[in-house]
Amino acid sequence: MKLSVAIALLISAAAEAHYTFPSVGTSSDWQYVRTTANFQSNGPVTNVQSEDIRCYERTPGTPAQGTLNVTAGQELAYNAKASISHPGPMAFYIAKVPAGQTAATFDGKGKVWSKIYQDMPSLSGGIKWATQGTKSVSVKIPKCLANGEYLLRAEHIGLHSAGSSGGAQFYISCAQLSVSGGTGSYSPKNLVSFPGAYSASDPGILINIYYPVPTSYTPPGPAAETC
């Protein structure tokens, strides 16, 4: 009896240490963000070759409740629940919805994703990320985007147990956006697919952040694009 209670407490503690990215701006959970498979467990993706690495959808093909109207050039808050409790990098990728589809129907497959945000750690007195402990991270929607509908992919990688292959923890979700006011000059140099963008052995994924203390950090994937 005592053992089962102890196990239950450990599971509960692990779930509380994990998190989701269920909303953008001031919207309600899963209003503009596709419901993720971890919406109850908060558990991460650990296999970078899994289809889950794209948007971690609970039921692929099921859209969010709606698509959020945003203006190119604005800052958009992407919210964590309860908070980003692990150390590691935050990135955002965006994918233009192809003609004949909508943000609600697009599955995000193929080399359609470009990185628009990547945070980097402080290396003074150990490796630290400013996003750890925060409840929201803001990303600028590029002013140079073409008008239209997009998927915005939020990704945080927990590196606290990344010293062995498969130890990195990916917390992911995708929001549905409709962008207006863009200049249309966006021309990304690197388009990637999920899965496909990462390898389990990438130095930004397979890394011991505690010992020896890293003196540099290379995030996985391409560099963030600029207008």
Model confidence pLDDT, tens digit, residues 64-84: 999 999 999 999 999 999 999
Decide if 152 contacts 193 (C-beta within 8 A): no
Tokens at 53, concatenated: 């690495």
CA atoms lying within 13 Å on the CB side of residue 182: 23
Q: What is the pLDDT of residue 17?
A: 80
Model confidence pLDDT, tens digit, residues 193-214: 999 999 999 999 999 999 999 9
Q: What is the pLDDT of residue 205?
A: 98
Q: How far apart are CA 113 and CA 103, in angstroms?
A: 14
Q: How far apart are CA 174 and CA 104, in angstroms?
A: 11
Asked whether residue 32 carries a pLDDT value surpassing 60, the answer given is: yes
Alpha helices in the chain (DSSP H): 2-17, 52-55
Q: Give me the amino acid identity at 46.
A: T
Q: How far apart are CA 81 and CA 35, in angstroms?
A: 13
Mean pLDDT of 137-163: 98
Model confidence pLDDT, tens digit, residues 14-23: 445 899 999 9
Asked whether residue 181 carries a pLDDT value surpassing 50, the answer given is: yes
Q: What is the pLDDT of residue 11?
A: 34
Across all residues in the chain, what is the average pLDDT?
Answer: 93
Helix (H) / strand (E) element for 218: namely none
Asked whether residue 54 carries a pLDDT value surpassing 80, the answer given is: yes
SS3 8: helix
Indicate the length of the chain as a whole number. 227
Per-residue confidence band for 6, with pLDDT thresholds at 50, 70 and 90: very low
Asked whether residue 154 carries a pLDDT value surpassing 90, the answer given is: yes
Decide if 212 contacts 176 (C-beta within 8 A): no
Q: What is the pLDDT of residue 16?
A: 53
Q: 12, 168, 172: which is closest to 80 by C-alpha?
A: 172
Q: How far apart are CA 97 and CA 94, in angstroms?
A: 10
